[in-house]
Amino acid sequence: MSEIGKTITSAANPAVKRLRSLSAKKYRDEEGVFLVEGLRHVQEALAGGFTLDTLGYATRAARDVAGFAGKAGDVLELTDDLLSRITQRDNAQAVIGAFKLKSARISAVKSGFWVGLEGIRDPGNLGTIIRTADAVKADGVLLLGDTCDPWSPEAVRATMGSFARVAVAQATLPEFLSWRQDWKGSIIGTHLQTDTDYRKADYKLPLLLLMGSESNGLSKDAVAACSSLVKIPMAGGAESLNLAVSTGIMLYEVCREKLK
């Protein structure tokens, strides 16, 4: 037993198996927790109000976690091999944390500036968008329909800690269409079938910026719910932009005055 937590050396240990299972959405949902890798990101999650269920650390990081280890329900000192097994990464971080899930429903979208993502499937794109939303200080990200899991290890890594500062809400398309009836602001969607340049739109708040999936764009129902549509012009031969790139362009345009 270490001075801080229980020393674990076997991959057969139930606590290790539990942490390792969090790579799958099924077990994240069953356990109600998700995995965060790295000392700084664990600290950011704590600062963001997330509840620390389990803390894992390598011996070399014992001093780094001593100040907040008491906030965890369970504290485990792990070998580097076990940390690699849990995170499925060869060069695993010395500190990991399993935190309670904290997703919101669409009722949380009441005012301000939100980014809506319909049918986003790539966790790297999602994490990058959350990170960019944090950079411009958007109020949150709304996931619509069948999307990738914002709490998957791939998505959380891609946020680079921004998951702790950006609210994430989720809704089905019918829930969104019902919510839309009471939304007092505008909804601006991106679409190729419009002549309106994104630099010419009025982005007054409250605002929901609606972006479609990587492959299909916005659905017909989502398009119909928009107050207006805009497009990002392209002079070259590319048919489309990566979703994280196009969303980043839109986010900075919406927040251009605020960021001066």
The count of structural domains within the chain is 2
- Do both 91 and 144 map to the same domain? no
Do 147 and 226 fall within a single domain? yes
Q: Is residue 19 part of a domain?
A: yes
Domain boundary among 100, 118, 136: 100
User: Can you tell me the distance from the alpha carbon of 245 to that of 211, in angstroms, rounded to the nearest whole number?
Assistant: 11
Q: Are residues 137 and 229 in the same domain?
A: yes
74 and 160 part of one domain: no
Look at residue 93 and tell me if it is in a domain.
Answer: yes
Please tell me the distance from the alpha carbon of residue 170 to that of residue 232, in angstroms, as a whole number: 26
Query: Does residue 206 have a cis peptide bond before it, meaning omega lies within 30 degrees of 0?
Result: yes
Its pTM stands at 0.94
Asked whether residue 219 is assigned to any structural domain, the reply reads yes
159/167 Cα distance (integer angstroms): 12
Give the confidence band of 240 by pLDDT, cuts at 50, 70, 90.
Answer: confident
For residue 260, is pLDDT > 80?
no
| Rounded-to-integer distance, Cα 45 and Cα 111, Å | 24
Contact between residue 119 and residue 58 where contact means Cβ atoms under 8 Å apart:
no
What is the predicted pLDDT for the residue at 3?
65
> Tell me: the pLDDT tens digits for 20-41?
999 999 999 999 999 999 999 9
Bridge partners (DSSP) listed for residue 171: 144
Examine the domain organization and report whether 122 and 216 are in the same domain: yes
Of the three residues 100, 128, 160, the one that is the final residue of a domain is 100
Alpha helices (H) along 181-242: 220-225
| Order of strands, sheet of 207-211, starting from the edge strand that comes earlier in the sequence | 104-105, 167-171, 140-144, 113-118, 207-211, 186-190, 228-230
- One domain for residues 131 and 64: no
Let me know whether 47 and 139 are in one domain. no
DSSP state of 56: E
Same-domain status, 123 and 217: yes
Percent of the chain with pLDDT over 90: 90
Angle, alpha carbons 158-32-90 (nearest 5°): 40
The CATH number covering residue 196 comes to 3.40.1280.10
Same domain, 138 and 180: yes
User: How far apart, in whole angstroms, are the C-alpha atoms of residue 128 and residue 124?
Assistant: 6
Tell me, yes or no, whether 83 and 148 share the same domain.
Answer: no
Burial class for 85, CB neighbours closer than 10 Å (0-12, 13-18, 19+) = middle
CATH for 10: 3.30.1330.30
Q: Enumerate residues 6+ apart whose C-beta is below 8 A from 178.
A: none
Q: How many Cβ atoms are within 10 Å of 218's Cβ, its own excluded?
A: 23
Q: What is the pLDDT of residue 1?
A: 44
Structural domain ending residue among the three candidates 73, 100, 127? 100
Distance (Å, rounded) from C-alpha 214 to C-alpha 78? 39
Give residue 98's pLDDT.
Answer: 98
Q: For the chain, how are helix, strand and coil distributed in percent, rounded to 5?
A: 35, 25, 40
155 within domain boundaries: yes
Q: pLDDT tens-digit profile of 31-87?
A: 999 999 999 999 999 999 999 999 999 999 999 999 999 999 999 999 999 999 999
259 lies in some domain = no
In a domain, 260, yes or no: no
In a shared domain, residues 250 and 148: yes
Pair (85, 24) in one structural domain: yes
State the Cα–Cα distance between residues 168 and 142, nearest whole angstrom: 6
Q: State the pLDDT at residue 2.
A: 58
Q: Tens of pLDDT along 175-190?
A: 999 999 999 999 999 9
Residue 58 is part of which domain span? 6-100
Does residue 39 contact residue 93 with C-beta atoms inside 8 Å? yes
Whole-angstrom distance, CA of residue 237 vs CA of residue 91: 39
